[in-house]
Amino acid sequence: MLAPMEKVTDSCFRYICHKYGADLTFTEQIRFETLVKKNKSALDRIRLYDDTPTMIQIMGKDEEKLGQFLKEFIPESGFQGFNLNLGCPSQSYVRQGIGSAMIKRPTKVKRMVDIIKDHGYNVNVKLRLGLTKAEKREKVYLKLIEKVDADFFVVHARYRSESYERKADWKVFPECVETGKAIVANGDIKTKEDVKKMKEIGCVGVMIGRATMSNPLIFGQLKGLQLPPVKSVKQEYIKLSVKRTGTYSEEVF
Ligand SMILES: Cc1cc2nc3c(=O)[nH]c(=O)nc-3n(C[C@H](O)[C@H](O)[C@H](O)COP(=O)(O)O)c2cc1C
């Protein structure tokens, strides 16, 4: 799976990653409280453009607004369901009690997941291991996985304040799998050996983020597919991006 990444995983990048091997893609995060206001740039961020299998990643905490958003939501082809973001480390979101601040609130998250399901949509959750090292030690992530009835849980194996310089803690995956819930592993996964290891642990999938930015062909490479040269894929990406958005970002690919 292609990880949700702000300012990276727009419709063009998702299309390219899926065309060359990713089974499932995720939009960058968006507040559903903003979507309810029908803000044009927010709505553009969840526009799908094509049939690429996509989960729309939402975050927020107002359950009434969530219901209102879902009532008015019209799925496009390619839409596979919603992903609830419980991982965002941003200080301003944490202060508002959303993103990774919600990992220790399983009852609330359960209600939100149930609201999405009641509207007939698939829903999965992406979480970190907690807000702090202490929360990780208390295993708040396990309590959440046990309590919430989502289709699957993407576990980014870091707590909120952990920087990317420290390797993700893959030791947590076996206990997540032992809950009996479907677990997708995330954090520093790049090679065939990494994928094999996650399969052996019992994870149902892997999610890849940063490694796709220099190499969106990584999914096809891991699957052993026949692939075109990166240079020609880059031209394809630029052409599509210019067509859809009028520009393209050098930083993405
Ligand atoms: C530029 C960037 C933007 C990101 N934006 C999001 C986001 O919008 N939502 C989210 O859940 N995670 C976001 N993440 C985290 C990634 O989805 C992923 O969990 C993290 O990079 C670890 O995976 P990796 O080691 O394969 O990169 C972002 C990461 C990066 C590098």
For residues 207-213, give the mean pLDDT: 97
DSSP string, 153-182: EEEESS-TT--TTSPP-GGGHHHHHHTTS-
Instruction: Give the pLDDT score at 249.
Output: 87
The ligand 1 atom nearest the CA atom of 87: 11
Q: How many domains does the chain have?
A: 1
Domain membership of residue 252 (yes or no) is no
For ligand 1, is residue 194 a contact (CB within 6 Å)? no
For ligand 1, is residue 209 a contact (CB within 6 Å)? yes
CB half-sphere exposure, 19, CA atoms < 13 A: 15
Instruction: Give the pLDDT score at 206.
Output: 98
Ligand 1 centroid from CA 231, angstroms: 25
Question: 0.95 exceeded by the pTM?
Answer: yes
Is 90 exceeded by the pLDDT of residue 222? yes
Is 90 exceeded by the pLDDT of residue 250? no
Determine what percent of the chain is predicted with pLDDT higher than 90.
93
Domain membership of residue 122 (yes or no) is yes
Domain membership of residue 138 (yes or no) is yes
Determine what percent of the chain is predicted with pLDDT higher than 70.
100
The residue segments making up the domain with residue 18 are: 11-240
Domain membership of residue 247 (yes or no) is no
pLDDT band of 131, cuts 50, 70, 90 = very high
Backbone CA torsion sign across 161, 166, 168, 174:
negative
Domain membership of residue 168 (yes or no) is yes
Which protein residue has the closest C-alpha to ligand 1 atom 10? Answer: 4
Please give the backbone phi and psi of residue 10, each rounded to the nearest 5 degrees, phi first. -80, 180
Instruction: Give the pLDDT score at 244.
Output: 94
- What span, in angstroms and rounded, lies between the C-alpha atoms of 253 and 113? 34
CATH number, residue 226: 3.20.20.70
Each residue's pLDDT tens digit, 76-107? 999 999 999 999 999 999 999 999 999 999 99
Domain membership of residue 183 (yes or no) is yes
